[in-house]
Amino acid sequence: MSRNGSVLRHIDWLTVCMFLAIALFGWINIYGASYTYEQTGIFDFSNRAGKQFIWLLGGLTLGGVIMLLDHKMYDMLAYLFYAIMILLLLITPLLAHNVKGSYSWINLGPIAFQPAEFAKCLTALAVAKYMSHYGYRLRTWRDLLIPLALIGIPMFIIMVLQQETGSALVFLSFLLPFYRQGMSGLVLLAGVLAVAVFIVVIKFSILPVAIFLVVLFAILIWRTWRINRIYRWALVVMFMVYMAFSAMCNFAFTKVLQPHQRTRIEVLLGMKNDPTGAGYNVNQARIAIGSGRFFGKGYLQGTQTKLRFVPEQDTDFIFCTVGEEWGFFGSTLLLLLYTAFILRLIYIAERQRDTFSQIYCYSVASIFLFHLTINIGMVLGLLPVIGIPLPFFSYGGSSMWGFCLLLFIALRLDAARVEKWH
């Protein structure tokens, strides 16, 4: 009994309070997004708000169980959890039905769940386990091979076998914990430049190659007599890498991406105008958010929301309801709350005394940051629509429990940090 009481004393209650504030605000907005004038109360379990309340209670129960378990279990059994997760991900396409082109949902009677939502947490445990073993240092690219494999395997299964691009891309968020553990910032810079080159190549086709050739030629003419042999070879290698990556971008865009994914990117980059097709969701989202102005139309008063102009308005596009009914003021408060929540997770990660807990907590903070950035960017039309939920806010039992699993394991490890020193 004293041990359980110790856990309760040492839990980071500020983080729990911020989680509850986000989840409860999300719950009432799910009711607002799905509300009709004939609908019953918010606790009616036949509608989505009532079901979300059950998911939230279930998430809190899951969190309570996690806090009562021995913290050493997460380190000791990390690889076992990971192996079970990989097996489940491989089985999922065999059991799942086609849901909007994806095979990622398993039906268990009246309940459907998405294993990919839990894969993020178990992958974070496995990566933290490997990178925390004695003598491991992130010095060269060879030190990244195993961690990248641990991340790449579930990412490949989810993207290729389950055809769920959004959930797969979340695994890119693990680059931030790698950076904190000593990975060169040049890797992150290379990633940003790769995205920029991809956009330029897709939108302007051969133009970037021509620009690069002109710039390279000018440099060689201007400074030929000053450039030594090493720099000449470096320029040649850089040019070859650039050409190879440009060719890969074109191949990936035309041959790898699905037609609807290509259309979404083309609409985002202004290459195609499709207001009634691929661009419909984003256009309606902008209208809904803009119509809220500064203070919003009022709770349950959003006309765009009530008339169902925005598809998926209680899941991936739930932020539209906030923008329309609570306005710029309410939207800003929500984003500030999320920012405080993520900064708190980073603070928790930084104060850990063992490497396993630190890497895991940084992974959790990175995953939440990735979800927040992509979801809000998607709704505002700044990023392609790829179907990523807003943490603790969007409707869904799998996402709620997956995020609760991520969060409460981090809180349990943080509580253990205090227990060890008392």
Q: Mind listing the pLDDT tens digit for each residue in 333-349? A: 999 999 999 999 999 99
Give residue 4's pLDDT: 55
Question: In this structure, are 106 and 8 located in the same domain?
Answer: yes
- Tell me which of 206, 222, 256 is where a domain ends: 256
In whole numbers, what is the pLDDT of the chain averaged over residues?
82
Task: Read off the pLDDT of each residue in 244-263 and give the average, rounded to a whole number.
Answer: 73
Q: How confident is the model at residue 276 (pLDDT cuts 50, 70, 90)?
A: low
Amino acid residing at 380: L
Question: In this structure, are 241 and 271 located in the same domain?
Answer: no
Question: In this structure, are 173 and 196 located in the same domain?
Answer: no
Question: In this structure, are 232 and 317 located in the same domain?
Answer: no
Question: In this structure, are 350 and 250 located in the same domain?
Answer: no
Q: How confident is the model at residue 2 (pLDDT cuts 50, 70, 90)?
A: very low
Q: How confident is the model at residue 8 (pLDDT cuts 50, 70, 90)?
A: confident
Q: Which residues pair with residue 102 across a beta bridge?
A: 99
Question: In this structure, are 150 and 93 located in the same domain?
Answer: yes
Say whether pLDDT at 330 is over 90.
yes
Question: In this structure, are 104 and 232 located in the same domain?
Answer: no
Question: In this structure, are 242 and 293 located in the same domain?
Answer: no
- Tell me which of 202, 233, 256 is where a domain ends: 256
Question: In this structure, are 176 and 62 located in the same domain?
Answer: yes
- For the entire predicted model, the pTM comes to 0.85
Give residue 194's pLDDT: 73
Number of domains composing the chain: 2
Task: Read off the pLDDT of each residue in 3-10 and give the average, rounded to a whole number.
Answer: 68
Instruction: Please tell me the distance from the alpha carbon of residue 226 to that of residue 410, in angstroms, as a whole number.
Output: 55
Give residue 232's pLDDT: 57
Q: How confident is the model at residue 385 (pLDDT cuts 50, 70, 90)?
A: confident
Say whether pLDDT at 259 is over 50.
yes
Give residue 221's pLDDT: 54
Give residue 122's pLDDT: 95
Query: Can you give the residue range of the structural domain that contains 228?
Result: 191-256
Question: In this structure, are 203 and 103 located in the same domain?
Answer: no
Say whether pLDDT at 29 is over 60.
yes
Instruction: Please tell me the distance from the alpha carbon of residue 21 to that of residue 67, in angstroms, as a whole number.
Output: 20
Say whether pLDDT at 420 is over 80.
no
Give residue 382's pLDDT: 81
Query: Do residues 317 and 311 touch, judged by C-beta distance below 8 A?
Result: yes
Residue 397: CA count within 13 A, CB half-sphere: 17
The phi and psi torsions of 384 (rounded to 5 degrees) equal -65, 155
Question: In this structure, are 165 and 312 located in the same domain?
Answer: yes
- Tell me which of 256, 275, 304 is where a domain ends: 256
Question: In this structure, are 225 and 286 located in the same domain?
Answer: no
User: In this predicted model, what pLDDT tens digit does every residue of 357-375 receive, in sequence order?
Assistant: 999 999 999 999 999 999 9
User: In this predicted model, what pLDDT tens digit does every residue of 181-208 receive, in sequence order?
Assistant: 877 776 777 777 777 777 777 777 655 5
